[in-house]
Amino acid sequence: MNPLGDLEALVMDVAWGHSALTVRELSSHLESERERAYTTIMTTMDRLHKKGLLTRAKDGNAWRYSPAMSRDEYEHTLADQLAAEIVTVHGEVGLAAFVDAASAEPEMLDRLEAMIAARRQGR
């Protein structure tokens, strides 16, 4: 799973706030952002469907799109994949980067330490 592009992120922000939307309905929520062509939104939603982030069901002549996962599930999946890639590609340097990043805030370093301890105990 890759991070979202700017328009994809806008579309998903709207989608995560609703149970199901047609392209036209979603487009009306984006008008305040910037005028965008209907076909651009349609293509973006189709692309997000193909990426597995939106599901769709026929509603008359239109598709009604729904989020395939919550925002939290998406962010967790993305973070897991990015962390695994960093550790796989960079090994100890990647691990050190996590520790350095957590060290910026003492509370985060404590949380990291607690997470490590919990994993060691099988939780």
| Residue 18 scores a pLDDT above 70 | yes
Q: Model confidence over 63-82: pLDDT tens digits?
A: 999 999 999 999 999 999 99
Give tens-digit pLDDT for 74-117. 999 999 999 999 999 999 999 999 899 889 898 999 999 999 99
Task: Tell me how far apart the alpha carbons of residues 121 and 117 are, in angstroms, rounded to a whole number.
Answer: 6
pLDDT tens track for 23-50: 999 998 886 656 788 899 999 999 999 9
Write out the two tokens for 117.
Answer: 């301890």
Domain 6-67 has what CATH class?
Answer: mainly alpha
Q: Structural domain boundaries of the chain?
A: 6-67, 71-120
- Identify the helix (H) or strand (E) that includes residue 94: helix 71-103
pLDDT of residue 33: 57
pLDDT recorded at residue 34: 66
What pTM did the predictor assign? 0.78
Give the pLDDT confidence score for residue 106 in this predicted structure.
86
- Phi, psi (deg, nearest 5) at residue 97: -65, -40
Would you say residue 53 has pLDDT above 60? Answer: yes
